[in-house]
Amino acid sequence: MAKINENYLKLAGSYLFRETAHRTAAYKEAHPEADVISLGIGDVTQPLPKACIEAMHKAVDEMACSSTFRGYGPEQGYSFLIEKIIENNYKGLGIENDEIFISDGAKSDCGNIQEIFSVDNRIAITDPVYPVYLDTNVMAGRTGLLAEDGHYAGVTYLSCNAENNFCPELPEERPDLIYLCCPNNPTGTTLNREQLKVWVDYARENESVILFDAAYNAYITDEDVPRTIFEIEGAHDVAIEFRSFSKTAGFTGTRCGYIVLPKTVMGKTADGSRQALNPLWNRRHTTKFNGTAYIIQRGAEAIYTPEGKQQVKEIISYYMENARIIREGLTAAGVTAFGGVNAPYIWLKTPDNMPSWDFFDKLLNEVNIVGTPGAGFGPCGEGYFRLTAFGNREKTIEAVERIRNNLHF
Ligand SMILES: *Cc1c(COP(=O)(O)O)cnc(C)c1O
């Protein structure tokens, strides 16, 4: 019999959204008349920008004609898209074409990047955070077993909570790889320039690599929050950035993202010599991936046209107005809420430190609202709860009214 990769047996079940869906379905079955509103959704709901749709239609037609048909494209992505990305997102930051790799999304990239690193690297992750970073390292064998307290052995957890203003403290033990997600999912909080500079300096001094997930960069409103880690001096030697068209332009079902990996970011070989990471990723990407569809890359390119920019701005404003309504409504109801200014997530403190799953049940039973328990994003998420701004306006307003009128904090 084939031997399995036993690391997979170390994984905690993908319990979070299965369990919230299960509890919601059970409630609806028992109360068929209830108007249950979901603010648990981590997916966009607004349709794609019109500019993207038009560009994709045009690209489909090109596929119908032998003179414009495209087969395999460059695995790293078409230069028409890479050039637009640099011009619009990295202008003046010294990023070159061969430092960008177009992919089918940030989830794959965040999950796959660990393959170019040795299995005996130590990883640090912020807690709570998007679960993909940790799980893919568990699969690769870079952790020990999951302990009772929800922590994997051999992993450095960087706690982020109200006490430290959601800014992780530098670890005592040096990690090789540091995962940062800014703006953060689930907390909706950010690191400002000064705070991020601390991490870049730390990575330089300690020869660590920062894996910087900027999937929500389009939601940043504060001037003080960098749009890319490459705005920080020195980051070009230590950081890899992940970007996505998913939350930016509604591509969650359409699939397009990219990695920015400067050629100056180094790792080391067993004999101690320095090795640039860019060629390793290039080799990995071109061997295991055959390129994002031409039609999709044309759609992605269209967000950089004047119409595309305007349409993206409108979609994001729509979600961020929902975020404002939730955040201000909760605050008025006496709830302590974070996030919602630079991200479509509101992270609230449960009343009297109520366990987050109990709060899930309370919200569902008493006001028919579904959210996501903080504990599902890491041990430090306990005592917190995530609401999202991806719903429609009316339902969002209605949900906030229900909380304000019926729950006493
Ligand atoms: C949604 C999300 C992603 C995944 O984006 P895709 O490009 O759709 O794969 C990555 N990171 C974070 C933090 C996310 O919330």
Q: What is 282-311 written as a DSSP string?
A: HHHHHHH-----HHHHHHHHGGGSHHHHHH
Q: Are strands 369-370 and 239-244 parallel, antiparallel or unpaired?
A: unpaired
The answer on pLDDT for 41 being more than 90 is no
| Ligand 1 geometric centre to CA of 293 (Å) | 19
Is the pLDDT score of 13 beyond 80? no
Q: Which atom of ligand 1 is nearest to the CA of 107?
A: 9
pTM over 0.85: yes
Question: Which domains occur in the chain, in start order?
Answer: 10-47+307-406 (3.90.1150.10), 53-305 (3.40.640.10)
pLDDT of residue 408: 74
Instruction: Establish whether residue 100 lines the binding site of ligand 1, counting it when its CB lies within 6 angstroms of any ligand atom.
Output: no
Q: State the burial class of residue 249 (Cβ atoms within 10 Å of its Cβ: 0-12, 13-18, 19+).
A: buried
Given this model, what pLDDT does residue 407 score?
Answer: 83
Q: Give distance in angstroms: CA of 385 to centre of ligand 1.
A: 19
Ligand 1 geometric centre to CA of 11 (Å): 20
Q: What is the mean pLDDT of residues 173-191?
A: 98
DSSP one-letter code for 125:
E
**80 alpha carbon to ligand 1 midpoint, in Å?**
23
Instruction: Give pLDDT tens digits for 371-409.
Output: 999 999 999 999 999 999 999 999 999 999 999 998 877
Output the pLDDT for position 390: 97
Token duo for residue 36: 């249950």
Mean pLDDT of the region 116-122:
98
- Residue 246 beta carbon below 6 angstroms from any ligand 1 atom: yes
Q: Is the CB of 371 under 6 A from ligand 1?
A: no
Ligand 1 center to 188 CA (angstroms): 14
Query: Mean of the pLDDT values across residues 191-209?
Result: 98
Which DSSP helix (H) or strand (E) runs through 233?
A: none
Strand, coil or helix: 4: coil
Dist. CA 101–CA 226, nearest whole Å? 21
pLDDT of residue 336: 96
- Widest pairwise Cα distance in the chain: 67
107: Cβ below 6 Å to ligand 1?
yes
Average pLDDT for the chain: 96
Atom of ligand 1 nearest to the CA of 130: 13
Residue of the nearest CA to atom 2 in ligand 1?
215
Give the whole-number percent of the chain exceeding pLDDT 90: 97
